[in-house]
Structure 1
Amino acid sequence: MLSSFDRLLFIRRVSIFQELRDEFLVKLASVMDELSFPSSHTIFEQGEEGRSLYIVVSGRVRVHLGDQELVQLEQGSIFGEMALFDAEPRSASVTTLEKCDCLTLNQLQLIDAIEETPEIAVNVTRALSRRIRELNSKVKTYEHQLNSINAQA
């Protein structure tokens, strides 16, 4: 478990919370839950209902569609954020690669945070955009590889 002070120091370095006022971060840090997961634990599966955003405090997780890995995330990374905004089922599964500690922020907590400090919505949107760009780049790479294989056949 992180002390209140360590929790504040940690979330201050997380991309979606950077540039936010310390008094707001103190309040936000106090409402987050801390969860620990063993290695090879599925935190959530594709298709499940989601109402929480997760922040990796320690360890690593794997975001995947079935056996296809999309990305590995480490300390300071966020995941599960899409479900907070669209109320759609989880778009991918997340499994720990090693023992993992996470902070969570649920939908109501995030809505309260956005009402108090709208900048957090901009920061989450930036994080989502960055993730979409990374996935688009991977899709282009896979398409190029597939086209090269088809051309050689």
Structure 2
Amino acid sequence: MNHILQEILNDQRFPEGSAWQRRVFSNKDMIVEEGQAGGSLFYIESGCLRVSGNIELESKKNIQPGIWELEQGEIFGEIALYQSQFRTASVCAISDVTLVEINGEKLSIYLDDNPQRGYLFYKGLFEILIGRLDRANHRVSDLFAWGLKVHGIKEHL
């Protein structure tokens, strides 16, 4: 994914300033917040980020556990690639970070106009999403097994 994304960012038909911009954040800066409207995709040039979600407990208390961490070369915000969407998680810097924020609508138009790069981009994105789905499935299985053990349900199966 990194190679094709670099090709796109270096293409003069996809200009910095209108199609994308470089942004710098400090440790503990909030990049995006869950529920916030967004229309951009982010590429991490350097640094580390934590992705977290908001969970409401029975007592109306909220916690925001970390879901996973993202590092240099990874992307996030792909849900807003085609249209403005509400962010499904919060992302916070856990080091100094340099990001490339890519306008989702302009990237979509560029990829339609450049089908070979579009194919390679979406192939890479598909591989990333499959990896994330696999990690999420393992976490759900682990949490389910933990819940069975904690509540003694396993003995009754």
TM-score by length of 2: 0.76
Give the share of equivalent positions with the same residue, in percent. Answer: 23
Determine which of 53, 58, 66 is the counterpart of 1:65: 53
Which sections of structure 1, spanning at least 5 residues, go unmatched? 1-12
Shift of 1:128: 2.0
Determine which of 71, 75, 78 is the counterpart of 2:75: 78
CA–CA distance in structure 1, aligned partners of residues 83 and 145 of structure 2:
32
Q: RMSD of the alignment, in Å?
A: 2.4
Deviates more, 1:116-125 or 1:92-101: 116-125
Match of 1:97 in 2: 94
CA contact (8 A) 1:54 1:105 kept: yes
Instruction: Give the secondary-structure state (helix, strand or coil) at the position aligned to 2:107.
Output: helix
Shift of 1:71: 0.5
CA contact (8 A) 2:23 2:98 kept: yes
CA–CA distance in structure 1, aligned partners of residues 83 and 144 of structure 2:
29
CA offsets per residue over residues 15-51 of structure 1, 9 Å max, x none? 7x37x9x5x5631585531100111011110001111
Determine which structure has the larger strand proportion and give its number. Answer: 2
The amino acid of 1:145's aligned partner reads W
Compared with structure 1, are the counterparts of its residues 49 and 61 closer, same or farther at alpha carbon in structure 2 (3 Å cutoff)?
same
Question: Rg bigger for which structure?
Answer: 2
Which sections of structure 2, spanning at least 5 residues, go unmatched? 55-63
CA–CA distance in structure 1, aligned partners of residues 123 and 78 of structure 2:
13
Compared with structure 1, are the counterparts of its residues 132 and 47 closer, same or farther at alpha carbon in structure 2 (3 Å cutoff)?
same
CA contact (8 A) 2:39 2:83 kept: no
Shift of 1:127: 1.8
CA contact (8 A) 1:47 1:90 kept: yes
Instruction: Give the secondary-structure state (helix, strand or coil) at the position aligned to 2:72.
Output: coil
CA–CA distance in structure 2, aligned partners of residues 128 and 134 of structure 1:
10
CA offsets per residue over residues 92-151 of structure 1, 9 Å max, x none? 000000111011211122112321133122322332232122112111111111111111
CA–CA distance in structure 2, aligned partners of residues 25 and 98 of structure 1:
24
Determine which structure has the larger helix proportion and give its number. Answer: 1
The amino acid of 1:148's aligned partner reads K
